[in-house]
Amino acid sequence: MLKLIHLEIKKHKLFNYWLGVLIANISIIALMSMIFIIEKIELNMPFEDFNMMMSMSDTLIRATFLIFSSIIMVKIIIEEYKSNLMSIMFTYPISRKKILLSKLTIVVIFTFTTIMFSSLLMGVGVYLLNPMIHIVPESISGENVVAFLTTSFFGALATAGLSLIPLFFGMRKKSSTATIVSAILLATLTGSSIDGVSMLQLISMLISLGIIGIIIGYLAVRNIEHVDI
């Protein structure tokens, strides 16, 4: 299994996507900086406290990498179905289930890792910069950062499961567009807020969608032996 995952990463040169991850993080930081500067110019306090700022950045991070993971899914699964590469792979003396499971594992690990990396970057960055440029009016303790990263850990786990939901739409017609558009709609839906609280911040919503994604991934792997490619 680990060898299959390694071969998939090497074949699709997935480590190159970390440049895109860095660019996405720079874009998120640029957007947060723009909000900070505009509010400062208008003599407003941009963020009421550390939790408010980090929940906003957390929502952006999860939505960004939910869409990003759908692009990975298109690259390693949907496009291979469309080009019949998958049918060639299924002639190898390796079970279909292992091949598909290795690809889905890559998507899940990519989503979880990128969200945690970005959360760590943002949390530690704000912690270090706040004494110099007063991003939030309060002092930030190490405990604040640890609490944020703990929340991000469970959120990243749930979002990793959630990232498999676009597989359902993409596989129906072997469509790259359907996969990415469904991820964008999912990111929009979960990024919306009710009374100032993002849907992605509602742990019950996150867990429910994560479970749905895992079920979709499980059914795809379970049924792959009987699918006519």
What is the pTM (predicted TM-score) of this model? Answer: 0.85
Model pLDDT, residue 26? 93
Confidence at residue 199, expressed as pLDDT on a 0 to 100 scale? 58
Distances (CA, A) of 75 to 143, 152, 177, 199: 40, 27, 12, 28
In angstroms, what CA-CA distances link 8 with 47, 62, 70, 151, 223? Answer: 42, 24, 16, 31, 21
| Structure confidence at residue 35 (pLDDT) | 86
Residue pointed to by tokens 């469970």 = 154
Q: Where are the alpha helices (H) located in 42-77, listed in sequence order? A: 50-73
One digit per residue, the tens of pLDDT, for the chain of length 229 reads 778 888 888 887 888 888 989 999 999 999 988 888 887 787 777 777 888 888 888 888 988 999 999 999 998 888 888 887 777 777 777 788 888 899 999 999 999 999 999 999 988 888 898 888 888 887 888 888 888 888 889 888 988 998 999 989 888 878 889 999 998 988 888 776 656 565 555 677 778 888 999 999 899 888 877 766 5
Sequence-distant (6+) residues with CB within 8 A of 87 are 229
**pLDDT the model gives residue 195:** 61
Both tokens assigned to 23 = 């660019």
Question: What pLDDT was estimated at residue 196?
Answer: 59
What CA–CA distances, in Å, run from 182 to 93, 140, 163, 179, 210?
34, 38, 10, 5, 15
Residue listed under structure tokens 């990243």? 156
- Amino acid identity at 152: S
